[in-house]
Amino acid sequence: MKKVIIVISIIFLFCFSFETDIKEFYIKSDLSSLKLLLDSLKGKNIEPSSSLYFYIAEISNDITLSLNCYKTVEERYKDSPFYPTTLLRLAKYYSITRDTSKALTYYRKLISLKEKNLLPYAYLGIIGIYENYADINNSNYWITNFLNEVDSSPFFNYFSLNEKTKHSQVKEKFYSIQIGSFKSKDNADKLYKRYKDKSYDVFIVFEDNLYKVRIGKFKNEEDARNFMKIFQKAETIPAWIVYGE
């Protein structure tokens, strides 16, 4: 019996030390050590922990690597404490890349978990997607669920039942040419100034926690496409058509 207890204690201490090392690498943003550790475990046919995949995804600048690691956690570690945050990361990524079908799937999965701290973000993500497409019926549906499910949030008063109709009124929307999307307002301002100095009708919108730089406001998509053809002949920056306020 004593031997069993000793063995269990050794295993526990090893696992604790192992997880501590992983977290230390993460805190220090030591991506190389985390990747070496992952490769080493795979080479020994040892199942890596969810934390190792999650931390690599969090600090890597390689989008493909981060996505693969997040998806590994999502597919293989559903009982992990990192699973809810992983769903949020994937939902936000697909929202930004405008793959709304996948974004909605991940937001709905997150809502089904009833994770109190993340629940508001999931609802706001879904509401934002539907409002971006002026889908008032679905937007109102999720606003109502938000009010019923979320106990407190900075947005609770904004989405109050008395204000719901006012909030959900369709505002005039336009087709525009988007030329950039940034987390930093400074970067957005620099791009704005660059094209403002060239006399373009440029403006910035804050949407999905990003500062988006856009040019022109067109009543229909055909006008936007015609302008983009001219714009892309004159400029080398990537551009795409968006629809919004």
The 10 Å CB-count burial string (b at 16+, else e) for 9-48 is: eeeeeeeeeeeeebeebbeeeebeebbebbeeeeeeeeeb
Q: In this structure, what is the dihedral angle of CA atoms 143, 145, 149, 152, given to the nearest 10 degrees? A: 10
The CB-side HSE value for 56 (13 A sphere, CA atoms) comes to 25
Give Cβ neighbours of residue 3 (< 8 Å, ≥ 6 apart): none
Q: Which fold has domain 82-170?
A: 1.25.40
Architecture of the domain whose range is 174-244: 2-Layer Sandwich (3.30)
Q: pLDDT tens digits for 116-153? A: 889 999 999 999 888 877 677 788 888 888 888 887 76
Three-state SS for 198?
A: coil
Rg, the chain, Cα only:
23
Phi-psi group of 224: left, alpha or beta (phi > 0 → left; psi -120 to 50 → alpha; rest → beta): alpha
Which pLDDT score, from 0 to 100, does residue 210 have? 86
Q: What is the mean pLDDT of residues 14-41?
A: 80
Tally of CB atoms within 10 A around 170: 8
Q: pLDDT tens digits for 53-74? A: 999 999 999 999 999 999 999 9
Rounded to whole angstroms, the Cα distance separating 218 from 221 reads 7
Q: Which residue has the higher pLDDT, 1 or 173?
A: 173
Give one DSSP letter per residue of 146-194, joined into a string: HHHH-S--TTTTTT-TTTHHHHTSPPP-EEEEEEEEES-HHHHHHHHHH
Give one DSSP letter per residue of 128-149, joined into a string: HHHHHTT-HHHHHHHHHHHHHH
Residue 164 has pLDDT above 70, yes or no: no
pTM of the model: 0.59
Rounded to whole angstroms, the Cα distance separating 103 from 89 reads 10
